[in-house]
Amino acid sequence: MLLYYDNFCGLFSPFFVSDDAMELYEILEPTITSLGYELVDVERSSRGRLLRIFIDKPSGISVDDCSAVSNHLSRLFEVENIVYDRLEISSPGLDRLLTKKSDFIRFSGELVRLRLRLSLKGQRNFVGVLREVSDEILRLEIDGDILDFELNNLEKVRLVPKL
């Protein structure tokens, strides 16, 4: 599983995981999964007072879904002594982040916007069709050419919304 986390983009990464962030993720992932949702992303404000959690499911997220998850997590956080002032539960939106290997597989064939940590051929931003992910390499088709990107060099990958 590919996990990224840094304050810049809110993702989980093996290179930037704080103990607090990983502990929170380890609590949220099985809990949200057991409720029938996918944990997409977690954002915590710099002072830790705002906790924003993005969830998804194949049929999409409704206000009732957000309310149900919020009610469940409020009780869980009380038991786990997780301090926050405001909890927000949201769908990932049309331009959802892709953070896990399973996301790249699920959204294969979709148009994505990708930003790298370190530039490739003098460029950090790319837009193309996600073709595949294997052996820690993501393949993106750009103007008929296939470019390979190392997963550990990905800073942010988002779907390009279909309007």
Domain that holds residue 148: 101-159
- Distance, in Å, from the CA atom of 75 to the CA atom of 114, rounded to the nearest integer, reads 36
**What are residue 35's phi and psi, to 5 degrees?**
-85, -5
At 15 the pLDDT is: 32
- Whether 26 is in a domain gets the answer yes
**Domain match, 62 and 115 both:** no
pLDDT higher than 80, residue 140 = yes
**Domain match, 105 and 76 both:** no
What's the CATH code of the domain at 137?
2.30.30.100
Among the candidates 40, 65, 90, a domain finishes at: 90
3-state secondary structure of 143: coil
pLDDT higher than 90, residue 75 = yes
- Whether 9 is in a domain gets the answer no
At 13 the pLDDT is: 40
Question: CA separation (Å) from 61 to 40, 115, 140?
Answer: 12, 26, 28
Which has the minimum average pLDDT: 15-29, 80-94, 95-109, 119-133? 15-29
48 sits in the region (left: phi over 0; alpha: psi -120 to 50; else beta) called left
| Structure token pair of residue 81 | 């002594």
Residue 20: pLDDT band (50, 70, 90) is low
**Domain match, 110 and 51 both:** no
Question: Which residues contact residue 118 at a Cβ distance below 8 angstroms, ignoring those fewer than 6 apart?
Answer: 124, 153
Among the candidates 59, 90, 121, a domain finishes at: 90
